[in-house]
Chain A
Amino acid sequence: MSGLERRRFDALVIGAGGAGLRAALSLARADAHVAVVSKVFPTRSHTVAAQGGINAALANVTADNWHWHMYDTVKGSDFLGDQDAIEYMCRAAAHLVVELEHAGIPFSRLPDGRIYQRPFGGQSQNFGGAQAARTCAAADRTGHALLHTLYQQNLRARTHFFDEYFAIDLLRDEQGYILGALVLEIETGELLVIEAKSTLIATGGAGQLFRTNTNAHINTGDGLAMVLRAGIPLEDMEFFQFHPTGIAGKGMLISEGVRGEGGYLVNGAGERFMERYAPKAHDLASRDVVSRAIYQEVAEGRGCGAQRDHVLLKLEHLGEEVIAKRLPGIREMVQTFLHVDPLHHPIPVYPTAHYTMGGIPTNRHGQVVVPLGAGEETIPGLYAIGECACVSVHGANRLGGNSLLDIVVFGRAAGNHIIEFLKEQRTHRPLPPESLERALERLQRWDRRGEGESVDGLRRALQETMERHCGVFRSEAVLLEGLSKVREIRDRLAHAILKDHSRIFNTARIEALELENLVELGIATLVSALGRTESRGAHSRIDYPERDDRHWLKHSLYYLEGERLEFKPVRLKPISVDTIPPAERVY
Chain B
Amino acid sequence: MSHPDTAADSELARLRWRCRRGMLELDLLLLPFVERGWAGLDPTAKEAFWRLLDLPDPTLLELLLGLAPPPDPLSDVVAAIRATAA
Contact = CB atoms under 8 A, between A and B. Distances in A.
A211 to B, nearest CB: 12
Contacts of B58: 48, 140-141, 144
B20 interface: yes
Secondary structure of the A contact surface, majority rule: loop
B20 A40 contact: yes
B20 A218 contact: yes
Contacts of A48: 21-23, 56-58
Interface in A251-280: 251-252
Secondary structure of the B contact surface, majority rule: helix
Nearest to B57: A48
Nearest to B67: A332
A249 B23 CA distance: 17
Nearest to A504: B10
Given A164-B17, A216-B23, A250 B28 contact: yes
B16 A44 contact: no
A394 B55 CA distance: 33
B47 interface: no
B23 A332 contact: no
B64 interface: yes
B22 A328 contact: no
B50 to A, nearest CB: 14
Interface in B39-86: 56-58, 61-62, 64-67, 82, 85-86
Contact of A504 (B13, B22, B31): B13
A215 B24 contact: yes
A498 interface: no
A44 B10 contact: no
A504 B61 CA distance: 28
B65 A47 contact: no
Nearest to B29: A336
A213 interface: yes
B25 to A, nearest CB: 6
Given A44-B57, A250-B28, A336 B64 contact: yes
Contacts of B64: 336
Contact of A49 (B14, B17, B22, B82): B22
Nearest to B61: A329
Interface in A32-80: 40, 43-49
Given A216-B20, A217-B27, A332-B66, A502 B56 contact: no
Contacts of A506: 13
Contacts of A45: 22
A442 to B, nearest CB: 20
Given A164-B17, A213-B24, A336 B66 contact: yes
A391 interface: no
A587 interface: no
Contacts of B27: 216-217
A336 B13 contact: no
A146 to B, nearest CB: 12
Contact of B31 (A164, A217, A250, A510): A217
Nearest to B64: A336
A333 B29 CA distance: 11
B24 A505 contact: no
Contact of B17 (A148, A186, A328): A186
Interface in A328-361: 328-329, 332-333, 335-337
A272 to B, nearest CB: 29
Contact of A43 (B57, B62, B65): B57
B67 A329 contact: yes
Contact of B22 (A40, A164, A252, A507): A40
A84 B59 CA distance: 39
B77 to A, nearest CB: 16
Contacts of A333: 25, 65
Contacts of B23: 46, 48-49, 216
Contacts of A504: 10, 13-14
Given A40-B21, A250-B28, A337 B67 contact: no
A337 B24 CA distance: 12
Contacts of A140: 58
Nearest to B66: A332
Contacts of B31: 217
Contact of B85 (A43, A44, A187, A336): A336
A214 interface: yes
A46 B22 contact: yes
A203 to B, nearest CB: 13
A68 B82 CA distance: 45
Contact of B65 (A214, A250, A251, A329): A329
A181 B64 CA distance: 37
A215 B62 CA distance: 18
Contacts of A49: 22-24, 57
27 contacts: A40-B17, A40-B20, A43-B56, A44-B20, A45-B22, A46-B22, A48-B56, A48-B58, A144-B56, A144-B57, A148-B56, A186-B17, A216-B21, A216-B27, A217-B20, A217-B31, A252-B28, A329-B61, A329-B65, A332-B66, A336-B66, A337-B25, A337-B85, A505-B16, A505-B17, A507-B13, A507-B16
Closest 8 CB pairs of A and B: A48-B22, A505-B13, A332-B65, A49-B23, A44-B22, A507-B16, A217-B27, A48-B57
Given A48-B22, A140-B58, A333-B25, 12 more contacts: A44-B57, A48-B23, A49-B24, A216-B21, A216-B22, A216-B24, A336-B65, A502-B9, A502-B13, A505-B10, A505-B16, A507-B17
